[in-house]
Structure 1
Amino acid sequence: MTALRAHIARRVAEIDATAWDACFPGEVENHAYYTACETAALVSGAELVTSAASVERDGETIAVAPFFLIDYRLDTPLQGPLRALGDYLFRHARKLVSLRVLCIGSPYAERCHVGLSPQLDEQARQQARLALREAIDAHGRDEGVHIIAWKDLAPDDAEAFRDILRHDGFIRLGSLPVAVLDLPANEADYLATLSTATRKDIRRKLAKAGDVRIEMRHSIAGIEAEIVALYESTRAQSGLDYGDLEKLPPGYFSGITAALGERALFVLYWVGTTLAAFNLLLIERERVIDKFLGMRYPLAREHNLYALSWMTNVRYCLAHGISRLQSGQTAYASKLRFGSRLVPSVIFFRHRQGVLNWALRSISPYIAFDRLDPDLKAHRLQQHAQLSP
């Protein structure tokens, strides 16, 4: 059996781009994307900067994964009235609720990008996963972190890592799912999948949007400050707060456009000479990722820009033969109403001290992200009501 060699890189940029991207065929959140994110973070002095782990066999990189270090508040999943309780505990017992965590994944992606060479058979893939886990665990010990967490594993990856992580005491926790819209061949067929009330609502809002000019461009030169302001305004309006996990470093948007070129598309919504909203779309051959949406309030509501942006994205996908529109981990109510399905995400985490790991295992069902999100709670109640006799 050929020996595997694991390596910890201080930055994603230290790993060969071709080798990295070979582990993620076709993905737009690639080496250039992660390098742009970490460059923006380093330049701005942001606390969250990605590092990376890799595994080599005979000098060839066969597995990679980004990770980052964060001082994480255990009350982060708490939203609404419960957040006040979390803030109280943070003020008065900070050491109990704020822990140093090594997160495999990225604060700039909705999925934990664990990439494996497509040339590996299943046995070799499992050996590479184990080598990644062991290297990251050792690095966590060296860094003195309290918790190691695998953030937002997709269903296939969660299944593949399940035995490796549970054997080492990791706890499974529900994270925020990803919303995905599967598109048919044309707009009429898409609208036919929606309820009558939703179809009428979309058509009414589009008709009342008024004089909105839609512009698509790959550069935001001259308007980057407005883009950032709209993003922050929308984040503040959401009513949800996931702390550092949803903060973008200054320079993120311009860095992404420079790194990805035509694969990063900004859709701009102008009312007169005012930029009323923007959408950042990341383009793949069979998928569009609706990455970020920013709106100017109350102007965006007056012109129904959420519905307009949704249908603009649907029409873009249909015009380019793209079958999936991925729209992320928030605002589930509208996305479900507009036909999206929810793809689960999973967190595996482990405290390095056994007693504390046992305590966290005991409370983990009550702090799961998917349990506490208000839109998801309402969705579960609605499903339960529909199933009840």
Structure 2
Amino acid sequence: MLQTISESTLTRIRLPAKDNPLIQTRVVNSIREVGKQAWNACFEDEVEDFDCLLAIEEAGIEGFAWRYVTVVENGTVIAALPAFITGYQLETTLEEGPVRRFIRRMRGFFPGFLTLKLACLGSPCTETGKPGFCANVPSERQPELLARLIAGLEKHADNNGCSLRGVKDIPEPCASAFAPVFTQSGFASIPGLPTACLDIDFDSIESYLGCLSSGTRKDMRRKLKSFDRIRIETRTDLADLMPRVMALYNETRSRSEWQFEALTAGYFAGILDRMSGKSFCTLYFANEKLLAANILVHNETTVIDKFFCMDGEEGRAYDLYYLSWFANLRYCIDHRVARYQSGQAYYENKLRLGSRLTANTMYFKHRNKGVQWLLRLVSPLFGVDEPPGGAS
């Protein structure tokens, strides 16, 4: 259980000047150095576990160096978070417009303009950056251990010339519970993209439709007729279809306002291979032409829609976004999965279809206090605007 801590409580849990020799903070370059059992013990019931992070590590995603920060006590990993180092372009979260175009023009003359070397807790390829704690760690110890994870990242950042430090997508209620830890460590916060989830508290598509507004229900019934024109195939190995899937992915990515990491064929293949039994890809064909692909990962309670890529023109003609939504709901119903997590962005449709939003918070800190003051001043420009309907 998480509990919100006060500033006065935080004062009592400050790290000692000399570290306890029985507890150490470690930063390693491969999750293999932590071990599957040790890592997963800190992330029980999380879908994006050791196997997911190993697939990401091995995917050959350009521009990222992977790190794993752990707190080890008496030889046992009791707290953990993935991390990464990259060159971060500060306009990444800006919407397309005059400011972003100006920055791109300036970067034509000065390639490093508004690009800082970033060391960040969290992963660019997972849904959130929720800290992991071993099950036997009491909640009152978690702030201290998070402070150690942050301190470990900062020391590693100093040693690797990273002027900017960050923490990516801490979800509620963690962000509220641990806010004093980040404040004491000198981090400022900006809103991140919220996560959309739908509770599967219905036992059929028909009962789900009954929960929607009359206008949405009528629209969805019309769109569902497109199922008659589409062939759906589920695979755990893309093999010969990988080139077409990557073409769909790259087209979809080019339409996105926010672009950070560029996924690879190795990522898609690795997720399906490493997460065997916990992942699959749903493929959508019209007249034997592949028009969309949907990568999903899951455990017994949650399905996460990792990426949906689609031919922009032909896919819309067949309402494939909506067909994939209903195909995923059918999977959840058939397998008694309680939660469908459809990820970040495109909130208007997700809210219309009954999803709720969970807020995520990002944190940043520059080692130069003057630059940190300036970044705090301009940070509202780089935060993500709240989507329609807000986030809890």
The alignment's TM-score, normalised by the length of structure 1, stands at 0.90
Q: Does 2:183 align with 1:166?
A: yes
| Alpha-carbon separation, structure 2, partners of 1:110 and 1:181 | 15
1:332 shift after superposition:
1.3
Q: Does 2:103 align with 1:86?
A: yes
1:91 shift after superposition:
3.0
1:216-227 equivalent positions in 2, closer than 5 A: 216-227=234-245
Coordinate RMSD, CA, aligned: 1.8
1:250 shift after superposition:
3.4
Over the matched positions of the two proteins, sequence identity in percent amounts to 33
Aligned equivalent of 1:195, options 185, 205, 213? 213
Gap regions ≥5 residues in structure 1:
384-389
| Alpha-carbon separation, structure 1, partners of 2:94 and 2:48 | 29
| Alpha-carbon separation, structure 2, partners of 1:7 and 1:343 | 31
Task: String of CA shifts for 1:15-43, please: whole Å, max 9, x gaps.
Answer: 111000011112221111111111122xx
Q: Does 2:26 align with 1:7?
A: yes
Task: String of CA shifts for 1:325-361, please: whole Å, max 9, x gaps.
Answer: 1111121121111111111010011111001111111
Aligned equivalent of 1:66, options 75, 82, 95? 82
* Aligned twin of 1:301: 316
| Alpha-carbon separation, structure 2, partners of 1:254 and 1:248 | 11
Return 225-234 or 339-348, whichever deviates more: 225-234
| Alpha-carbon separation, structure 1, partners of 2:125 and 2:265 | 13
| Alpha-carbon separation, structure 2, partners of 1:325 and 1:84 | 36
1:1-389 equivalent positions in 2, closer than 5 A: 3-41=22-60, 46-82=62-98, 83-186=100-203, 187-238=205-256, 240-242=257-259, 245-371=260-386, 376=387, 379=388
Gap regions ≥5 residues in structure 2:
1-19
| Alpha-carbon separation, structure 2, partners of 1:143 and 1:293 | 35
SS of 2:377's equivalent?
Answer: helix
* Aligned twin of 2:8: none
* Aligned twin of 1:386: none
Task: Give the aligned residue type for 2:27.
Answer: I
| Alpha-carbon separation, structure 2, partners of 1:136 and 1:121 | 23
| Alpha-carbon separation, structure 1, partners of 2:258 and 2:109 | 20
Are the counterparts in 2 of residues 66 and 113 from structure 1 also a CA contact under 8 Å?
Answer: no
Task: String of CA shifts for 1:271-315, please: whole Å, max 9, x gaps.
Answer: 122111111111111110011111123221121111111111111
| Alpha-carbon separation, structure 1, partners of 2:178 and 2:366 | 18
1:370 shift after superposition:
3.2
| Alpha-carbon separation, structure 1, partners of 2:364 and 2:313 | 41
Task: Give the aligned residue type for 1:282.
Answer: V
Are the counterparts in 2 of residues 286 and 322 from structure 1 also a CA contact under 8 Å?
Answer: yes
Task: Give the aligned residue type for 2:355.
Answer: S
1:96 shift after superposition:
4.5
Return 321-330 or 206-215, whichever deviates more: 206-215
Task: Give the aligned residue type for 2:26.
Answer: H
Task: Give the aligned residue type for 2:175.
Answer: A
Q: 1:3 to 1:162 in 2, by over 3 A?
A: farther
SS of 1:222's equivalent?
Answer: helix
SS of 2:64's equivalent?
Answer: coil
Are the counterparts in 2 of residues 67 and 106 from structure 1 also a CA contact under 8 Å?
Answer: yes
The alignment's TM-score, normalised by the length of structure 2, stands at 0.90
